[in-house]
Every structure is written in structure tokens, then in C-alpha cells.
Amino acid sequence: MGKDTILNILILGMDGYIGWSLALHLAEKGNRVTGIDNFSRRRTVEEIGSWSATPIHSMEKRMQVAKANYQERIRFHEGDLVDYKFVSDVIKSCKPDAIVHLGEQPSAPYSMIDVAHAVYTQQNNVIGNLNLLFAMRNFSPDAHLVKLGTMGEYGTPPLDIPEGFFEVEYNGRRANMMFPRQPGSFYHASKVHDTFNIMLACRIWGLRSTDIMQGVVYGTRTNEINLSENPDLCTRFDFDEIFGTAINRYTAESVIGHSLTVYGKGGQTRGFLALVDSIQCLTLICENPPAKGEYRVFNQIDEVYNVTELAEIVAKVGRRNGLAVEVAHVPNPRHEAENHHYKVEARHLRNLGFKPTRSLEQEVGLMLEDLTPFKDRIKEKEQVIDPKTTWSNGQSLEEGIQNYSIRQNTRTTS
Amino acid sequence: MGKDTILNILILGMDGYIGWSLALHLAEKGNRVTGIDNFSRRRTVEEIGSWSATPIHSMEKRMQVAKANYQERIRFHEGDLVDYKFVSDVIKSCKPDAIVHLGEQPSAPYSMIDVAHAVYTQQNNVIGNLNLLFAMRNFSPDAHLVKLGTMGEYGTPPLDIPEGFFEVEYNGRRANMMFPRQPGSFYHASKVHDTFNIMLACRIWGLRSTDIMQGVVYGTRTNEINLSENPDLCTRFDFDEIFGTAINRYTAESVIGHSLTVYGKGGQTRGFLALVDSIQCLTLICENPPAKGEYRVFNQIDEVYNVTELAEIVAKVGRRNGLAVEVAHVPNPRHEAENHHYKVEARHLRNLGFKPTRSLEQEVGLMLEDLTPFKDRIKEKEQVIDPKTTWSNGQSLEEGIQNYSIRQNTRTTS
């Protein structure tokens, strides 16, 4: 399989930030794309009282616009991965070469709200993925499962982080072993649970999978998505404390003059990747499947920063663009190391030909430009930016429900 | 807390093989025991067309008999761990010092029947345990969670197996890390998922837990349970391919003249432990809680054998008792190494004072003696002994349902 092969690709979670961007890119390249989604992301963002800074269309409208460009090369079915029959039926009719699984609840804070949100996250993610594994075994055992995990599966161990496995010695014996995972939230744990289930399915059933430990993705643009040229195709952009990742949150804060909310001491170090480069990696992975029965892990990151450095870059670019940006340290709502070793091996994707095309500083400039027209939408939801969902003290079930009922008083439409 | 302290102990899964035995032992020692169960084990064993070789009473009758000995020191509530409100209410009213969590679907083959059984297993085990963690955080943050995991969480790695954690060096840095898990079924994976969730809860909420990696438990007797003296108190004894562990299955086979079903080459090596010694360990653990916030792992095994050696011991003891016992090798339904390194560290429980009181050979003699009166009950269900549930080829959802519907034609009552 090479760069010019036309693939049948099934995208789970096609309505999401990465899912929608990937669907357009794969269709643009000539592949046949089928997508599914249960629209849970739209509902959960509404639940917490927020919305996408970029006004995204309904899937109906999205498909109208996309089909004008790609005709039958892009299709969509509404449905839920926790419904085994739905998953099986889609796989039977699509006959995918690759299945890109982006269809999970993706927020760590959301999973820490209360017991109901933790249970929902693990139930949705683990059972959805388990249904998928059985449907693949039964109806497409040769397809390639491209699974979105997270660098957060590893936590922040005191050792360098290899790509999934490492060679160790213990009591005089040497072996290549799985690198120990240390998830930091019930969301991250759900991804680790998936990892174990997928590894098992590859071993006992001969499925093939690339499990992607992805860093934090940021950005508003891809080759197919440019807000000033084709606003109808834009992807979502979350900036709230629950669904907004660090850079997205910082840039949104910048355009409304909200100080940048660095959590705690700010030494928390992570890998980052521009949206367009995440799409590049996912495409490369689809085009280069592993052998049958192979389970492989790719660390998908570009640059490494701590969250203070990140805020300083955003502040610098913002000020250059005439924005009055202040960096603030707010109490850390999470339970995490604020100063730690962080060295990540990420060679596999480079070996397949991945070349990062964006520097963070450059991309932040484009983000500020793209977000400025939606300043009022961000401003309207300013109250969901500052962190309220905490790890250590958590909320009781009743408090969690009450807190989120209050936020929902301002109802939103996207 | 020492050996003479009276404890409030909550047992989750009190109707089970170990749960019932433990409840009687802890009450006998003067502790206050509260148990819960949803009776799922009785239902799933009935579903697969089997029953307990030992005719166990209903919980109503069990409690009548137990209360005659222990009065208000033993209590029972029917309910389900996946019901958060039920778990919370029980914890609020019981105010436990220790919570012994035996309330999970415990069979690897059951989890491999089809997608419905895999989903049930992970849903039941992971969500039940997650509800428990939240209820503990909210209503008994100082209680000690004694969680039943399994040695199968580690799989059969080419390294010695430490107690949960090991010191490793990688790229010139040294650290104490979690020992990598390699579960071999969706059941075993569910226990690994629990491990990650518990470890996280201890880290972020300061809960305390002993996570027990237990070997295969066998036997019919404890200090409180002796079939010839008090048959009304007997615990269950499963011998079918789904719920029967190796020695239980071999001894039941011996008494009905069914050849001993060794899977594959029979070099599969495991740790074993007599029921009475499992109870001894669990009691010791309750009496010696970890510090607040501590997550510790105990490997709970006594002797190590491969499954052929095990069959030979059972055959030898059986022949000595006048039974005509043959050892047969049947095709291995599982996907597992049949010849592998296996060296387990198990010092923590010995350091707390654990002294094994049974040899396998001695206990097998007692088991044959106890099972002989129930020869006809085992014979009646002989068709569920030989392995039919396979790992590698598995069954489709439809085949799985059909297969088990057929077996259910002979309906049973316990």
C-alpha cells in the first residue's frame, strides 16, 4: 500500500475536531471516506455551558458542502459505538481498509466531574472500543485499526518514554516489555483500558493496529480548512476548561483579554502537534498498515514545551498582534507533577516520512487571526474558561449535577 | 490494628465461593460482617447449564443458619455494584474498616464466549469497581479496600514476577515502576482496568488499597466449613469448563470417571492456594491495612505447578482412593503459552505472618472425599466439563447465543 492507493476508510467520530478535518483531507486525496458519530461532543459541550468558538454547521449542512467537492467519496451515518449491531452493520457495508477510531469522550476534566461522568467516560470509551474489536474480528479481520490514544497514558514517569515498549533487565533476565502506563484521570485510564483490550485482540485474533499516543493538538487550519476562504467547512474549536486544550484555551483567552490560565507552577511538560500535522500523521498511518497480528505504538508529537513556555509564546505573539495579554498562574485543579522529567521517543512516524510543517509560534499567529472574528462568541462563554473541575477534592454526585445544572442555564445551540 | 481488633468488614460478593467462606471465618473471629451480592454467579452458572457440585442453600437459608451461630455479627443486603446509590447507601450504613471486593464476574472463558459476554464482564467489573471507588471517596475515605485481582493480570512474562512494582533502568535512568501487565482474556483485562482505576484513586484521593494478585484457589473446606459436619454451611464448588478452576475440575472429573482434561501440552504453570489459606491471607490483610494513600500489591499464592503435574497429583491421590483416573490432553481452547518461564515473588504476605497450612496432595484427598457423595450431581452435568469456549476462533454473537441456549435446555435450580 503506498501513497497513491485509494483506500476505504471508516472514521469513528467524524463530527469531532480531528475527525472532520481528517475526513476532508482523506476525501481530498481521493480516498473513499465513511464517517459515523453520535454527536455526543456537541451535547457534552452544551451540557457544560460552552460552545465551539468557530460556528460549526450541523452534519447535514457539513455533508451538503463536502459532497459538492467530493460527491460519493464522503458518507456519514449517525450512530453509537456502544450499539454492537450498528458498528457491525457499518463495518459490513463499508468493508474498510482502515478504521480510524476517534470516537471517544476525549476530556480528562469531564471524566473527573463526578461518578456519573467518570462512569459515562469509561463505559462509552471501553465498551465502544470492545464492540469495535469484536465487529472487526467477525466482519473485517484484515482491516487496520488506527486508534487514538494519548501521551497521557504514560503519565510523567521518571524515565524516558519509549514508543510503547522497552527492553528491560530484571533479576538477570532481559525482555522487551510493555512500558508501564500511569494514567492521571479516569479519561486517561479509559485509554489505557483500550490499549490492553486492543493488544489482546491483536494477539489472540490476529487483528492489526496502530495505537497512537498523541500529544496535545492545536490549531484552526488544515490544507482543506481555512476560515477566511471556506468558513462552511470549519472544524470545531473548544476553549472551555473541560474540552479546551492548553494552546486553544490560551489563544481564545488572548483574543478576549482574559489572562492566560496557567495551572499551578506551570512546569507541566507535554508534547504538542499542529492539527494539520496530526492529519498528516493519521494519513501516513492509514497508508502504511502494520502486518497482520501486529500491535504497534506510535508517539505522535512534534515539539515539547511546558505550559508556562507555551503561555509565554502565546503572549508574545498576541502582543505583536496588538493584544494586551497577561499570563496568570491559577491554582492547579488537577493532581499532577508540576516539575518533572519528560523525554519522549518519537521516531516511528518520522521513519514513515512525517515532516512537521508548522512551528508553534507561527501557528499561534494564524489561530489568533482566525479567532478574532469570533471574539464575541468566546466572550459570551467566558465563565467556562477558568478551571472549576478539580481532581483531588472532586465533587459529590449531587454537587456535580448541581454545578452543571447551574451552568446550563444559558442554553446554547452549537 | 492487630489480630484481636474487632473490625467492621464489608464483603462484596458474599454469596460466592470465597465470599461465603470468608464471611463465616471473619464472623467466627468476632468481626462484624456485612455482605452484599446480586446473585449473578448463580445465574451465570445456570446460564451455561451447570450447577455447584455441592448443593448450596439460598442466601435466605444461609443467613438463617449463620445467624444461629453469629447473630447480628453477620448481615446481608441484596444489590448490585453497578448501582451507585446502592453501593453508597451500604457504605454509609456499614461504615466499614475494610471492604473486601470479591464482587466481580470471575471467569476468563465466560468473557470469551462472545461480544455480549465480554461486554458484560468489563461493564460489570470495571463500572462496579469505579462506583465503589467514588462511594469510598465520598463516604468512607479511610476504609481499606481489599481488592481481589488475579495473578493472570501479569500473564506469563519472560521475567520473574515481582509484587506489582519493580526497579528498572532505561536509558541510564533508574526508577521503581509498575510491572507491565499482560492479561490473556477480556476477564483478565477487566482486572487490569480495575488495577489502574484503584491506583489512580489512591494517588489522587488518598484512598488505601491492597490489590491481591491471587493464584488459582481450590478446596472444599475451611475452619468453618466441613461438609460432613455442617453441610448447611457449605460453599459452592464449580467444575464446568467456564467456572471450574483446574484442580476443582480435575477432582470432579476423578469422582465420575471422566478423564482429567489437561489443556494442550500442559506446561502452563500457575500459582495455587487452598481455600482455607486464601481465607487466612484475606483475614491477615484486613487486620493489617496499608497507610492512607498507599496502594500495595500482594501476590497471593502458595505452591507452583504446571497443569500436567497438577493432573498427575490428582490422578495419584484418586487411584490411592480406588478411583480409575486417566489423564488426557485435550486441544487447548485458550490462547496461551504452553511452556514458559514462571517465577513469582510472594514475600509480602509471609512477612505479615501467612503460613500455608495445606499441601496440595493432602487437600486433594479431602476434596475427593467431600465430592464423592455428590457424584450424581456432577455426572448429571458432565456435558459442561469438556472445553467448548475458545479464544482464537471465538464465536460470533449469534453462535454464542445459540450455543448457550442449547445448553440451557436442561434447567437447573442451584
Q: Which helix (H) or strand (E) holds A329?
A: strand A327-330
A396 touches chain B (CB under 8 A): yes
pLDDT of residue B3: 58
Q: Please report the pLDDT score of residue A231 as a whole number.
A: 92
Interface test with B, best of A130, A341, A395 (most B CBs within 10 A): A130
Q: What does the pLDDT look like over B132-142, one tens digit per residue?
A: 999 999 999 99
Which of A388, A289, A391, A300 is CA-nearest to residue A349?
A300
Please say if B187 is a catalytic residue: yes
Query: How does residue A3 score in pLDDT terms, banded at 50, 70 and 90?
Result: low
CATH topology for the A8-388 domain: Rossmann fold (3.40.50)
Band the pLDDT of B258: cuts 50, 70, 90.
Answer: very high
Read off the pTM: 0.95
Q: How far does A221 lie from chain B, in Å, by closest CA? A: 36
Q: What confidence category does residue A401 fall into, taking pLDDT thresholds of 50, 70 and 90?
A: very low
Residue, of A396 and B190, whose pLDDT is higher: B190
| Percentage with pLDDT > 90 across chain A | 91
Q: Does B180 touch chain A (CB under 8 A)?
A: yes
Q: What is the ipTM of this complex?
A: 0.95
Residue identified by cell 512500558 is: A179
The pLDDT of A103-131, averaged and rounded, is 97
Amino acid residing at A293: G
Reported as a pLDDT band with limits 50, 70 and 90, residue A393 is low
Nearest Cα of chain A lies from the Cα of B115 at a distance, in angstroms, of 6
Which of the pair, B1 or A43, is modelled with greater confidence?
A43
- Are A330 and A386 a contacting pair, CB within 8 Å? yes
Identify the helix (H) or strand (E) that includes residue B19: helix B17-28
pLDDT of B265 higher than 70: yes
Cα of B406 vs its chain's centroid, Å: 27
Give me the pLDDT at residue A161, please: 98
Q: A-contacting residues of B 264-293, CB under 8 Å?
A: none
* Residue A227 and residue A234 in contact, taking contact as beta carbons nearer than 8 Å: yes
To which residue does cell 471465538 refer?
Answer: B394
Please tell me if residue B200 touches chain A, with a CB cutoff of 8 Å: yes
Q: Give the model confidence (pLDDT) of B35-50 as tens digits.
A: 999 999 999 999 999 9
Contacts of B138 in chain A (CB under 8 A): 396-397
Distance (Å) from the alpha carbon of A189 to chain B's nearest alpha carbon = 7
Is pLDDT of B115 > 90?
Answer: yes
The predicted pLDDT at position B406 comes to: 38
Residue B407: pLDDT above 50?
no
Nearest one of B115, B120, B297 to B196, comparing CA atoms: B297
Considering B34, B150, B210, B235, which one is annotated as catalytic?
B150
Distance of alpha carbon A15 from alpha carbon A6, whole angstroms: 22
Q: What is the pLDDT of residue B372?
A: 97
Q: Is the pLDDT of residue A409 over 70?
A: no
> How confident is the model at residue B393, as a pLDDT?
56
Mean pLDDT of the residues in chain B:
93
Q: Do A178 and B182 touch (CB under 8 A)?
A: yes
**3 state DSSP class of B172:** coil
| Angstrom distances, CA of residue A399 to CA of A51, A99, A300, A389, A406 | 23, 39, 37, 11, 11
- Chain B residues whose CB is inside 8 A of the A158 CB are 173, 175
Cell digits for B137? Answer: 471517596
Whether chain A has a CB inside 8 Å of the CB on B411: the answer is no
* Residues 74-93 of chain B whose Cβ lies under 8 A from any Cβ of chain A: 84
Residues B161-179 have pLDDT tens digits of 999 999 999 999 999 999 9
Reported as a pLDDT band with limits 50, 70 and 90, residue B395 is very low
Pairs across A and B, CB distance < 8 A: 149
Q: Is residue B402 over pLDDT 80?
A: no
* Section B385-395 average pLDDT: 78
* Sheet with B8-12, side-by-side order of all strands: B74-78, B32-37, B8-12, B98-101, B144-150, B208-214, B295-300
CB-based contact B196 A181, cutoff 8 Å: yes
Q: Residue B129: is its pLDDT beyond 60?
A: yes
Question: Which of A68-77, A165-174, A269-278, A383-392 shows the lowest mean pLDDT across its residues?
Answer: A383-392
Position A284 scores a pLDDT of 98
Distance between CA atoms of residues B68 and B45, nearest Å: 29
Work out the angle at residue A262's Cα, subtended by the Cα atoms of residues A257 and A266, and round it to the nearest 5 degrees: 150
The pLDDT of B216-229, averaged and rounded, is 94
Alpha carbon of residue B92 to chain centroid:
27
What class does CATH assign to B8-393? alpha beta
The pLDDT of residue A400 is 45
* Disruptive mutation site among B134, B140, B343 for chain A (greatest number of A CBs within 10 Å): B134
Exposed (0-12), middle (13-18) or buried (19+): which is A315, by Cβ within 10 Å? buried
B130 in contact with chain A, both atoms CB, cutoff 8 A: yes
Phi, psi for A209 (deg, rounded to 5): -150, 145
For chain B, the distance separating the N- and C-terminal CA atoms, rounded to the nearest angstrom, is 39
Q: Is the pLDDT of residue A392 over 80?
A: no
For residue B300, the one-letter residue type is Q
CB atoms closer than 10 angstroms to residue B393: 10
Written as nine digits, the cell of B139 is 463516604
Instruction: Tell me whether B171 touches chain A (CB under 8 Å).
Output: yes
- pLDDT (average), residues A329-346: 94
Per-residue confidence band for B411, with pLDDT thresholds at 50, 70 and 90: very low
For residue B88, name the pLDDT band (cuts at 50, 70, 90): very high
Considering only alpha carbons, which residue of chain B is nearest residue A119?
Answer: B127
Confidence tier at B413 by pLDDT (50, 70, 90): very low
Mutate which: B132, B138, B332, vs A, most A CBs within 10 A: B138
Contact B180 A177 (CB under 8 A): yes
Q: Indicate yes or no: CB of B119 within 8 angstroms of CB of A130.
A: yes
- pLDDT tens per residue, range A200-251: 999 999 999 999 999 999 999 999 999 889 899 999 999 999 999 999 999 9
Check residue A140 and give its pLDDT. Answer: 97
Report how far residue A311's alpha carbon sits from residue A246's, in angstroms, rounded to the nearest whole number.
9
Query: Could you tell me the pLDDT band of residue A2, with boundaries at 50, 70 and 90?
Result: low
Bridge pairing between strands B216-218 and B165-170: unpaired
Those residues whose C-beta lies under 8 Å from the C-beta of residue A237, and which sit 6 or more positions away, are A17, A52, A53, A54, A220, A248, A252, A371
Q: How confident is the model over B350-362, as pLDDT tens digits?
A: 999 999 999 999 9
Task: Please compute the mean of the pLDDT values over residues B79-96 and round it to a whole number.
Answer: 97
Contacts of A189 (CB under 8 A, 6+ apart): A122, A183, B193, B196, B197, B200
| Average pLDDT score, chain A | 93
What is the structure's pLDDT at A5?
85
pLDDT at B408 exceeding the cut of 70: no
